[in-house]
């Protein structure tokens, strides 16, 4: 079996356009979104295509800095090996965020502390997200995602704490 995904390195897995459809009903149009992991532009472009305002900087270290422009919601798909750092940083900023992460990351030790926060909510897509990988971007044939993903949300005022969303 020719696996595209190296299970030890989930850092080159970009958000496909359709993944945004799971959350657009919960994204206010009057807010500015910061996409901090702009390496392959997919998430930012998906938002812009749907008429959302987006700021991004390709070389800004979001674990230390933030954009100079005003922004309201941090929406990103961070490299999976840095998920813990992203969640900790996002909480430090005291702003709303949505972070696309592997479902398994809900069970790490630090997550138990994070999920005691009443402003944390989770959106669970009905199907696995087939991330865009370097092989897919080169047009090579690959396999589907081997894991489930969730959107971890903070201060998004969702109607429930856990939302299971079917694709439209």
DSSP letters, 49-108, are HTT-EEE--TT--TTT---SS--SEEEE---GGGHHHHHHHHHHHTSEEEEEEEGGGGGS
Compute CA distances 4 → 10, 19, 27, 140, whole Å: 11, 19, 31, 9
Compute CA distances 117 → 20, 98, 113, whole Å: 25, 15, 7
Mean pLDDT of 18-46: 83
**How is the chain split into domains, by residue range?**
17-165
How far apart CA 40 and CA 137 sit, in angstroms, is: 10
Percentage of residues of the chain with pLDDT beyond 90: 17
Mean pLDDT of the chain: 78
Q: How confident is the model at residue 72 (pLDDT cuts 50, 70, 90)?
A: very high
Q: Residue 142 corresponds to which tokens in the numbers above?
A: 């690959």
Q: Report which of residues 87 and 168 the model is more confident about.
A: 87
Buried b (16+ CB within 10 A) or exposed e, 15-42: bbeebbebbeebbeeeeebbbbbbebeb
Torsion angle of C-alpha atoms 84, 87, 93, 95, degrees rounded to 10: 180
Is the sign of the CA dihedral 101, 40, 17, 60 positive or negative?
Answer: positive
Q: Residue 125 corresponds to which tokens in the numbers above?
A: 């897509």
Percentage of residues of the chain with pLDDT beyond 70: 74
132: β partners: 14
Tens of pLDDT, residues 43-66? 888 888 989 998 877 777 777 888
164: β partners: 124
CATH number of 17-165: 3.40.50.150
Contact 72, 33 (CB under 8 A): yes
Tens of pLDDT, residues 107-157? 666 666 667 777 889 999 988 887 776 665 666 666 666 778 899 999 999
pLDDT value of residue 8:
42
Decide: pTM greater than 0.85. Answer: no
Q: How confident is the model at residue 10 (pLDDT cuts 50, 70, 90)?
A: low
């Amino acid at each position: 079996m020719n696996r595209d995904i190296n299970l030890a390195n989930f850092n080159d897995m970009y958000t496909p356009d359709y993944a945004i459809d799971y959350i657009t009903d919960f994204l206010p149009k009057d807010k500015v979104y910061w996409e901090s992991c702009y390496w392959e532009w997919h998430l930012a472009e998906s938002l812009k295509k749907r008429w959302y305002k987006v700021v991004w900087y390709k070389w800004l270290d979001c674990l230390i800095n933030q954009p100079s422009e005003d922004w309201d919601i941090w929406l990103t798909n961070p490299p999976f090996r840095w998920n813990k750092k992203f969640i900790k940083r996002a909480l430090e900023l005291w702003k709303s965020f949505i972070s696309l992460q592997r479902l398994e990351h809900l069970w790490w030790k630090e997550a138990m502390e994070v999920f005691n926060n009443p402003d944390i909510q989770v959106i669970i897509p009905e199907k696995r997200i087939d991330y865009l990988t370097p092989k897919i971007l080169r047009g090579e044939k690959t396999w589907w995602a081997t894991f489930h993903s969730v959107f971890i949300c903070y201060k998004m005022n969702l109607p429930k704490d856990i939302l299971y969303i079917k694709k439209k």
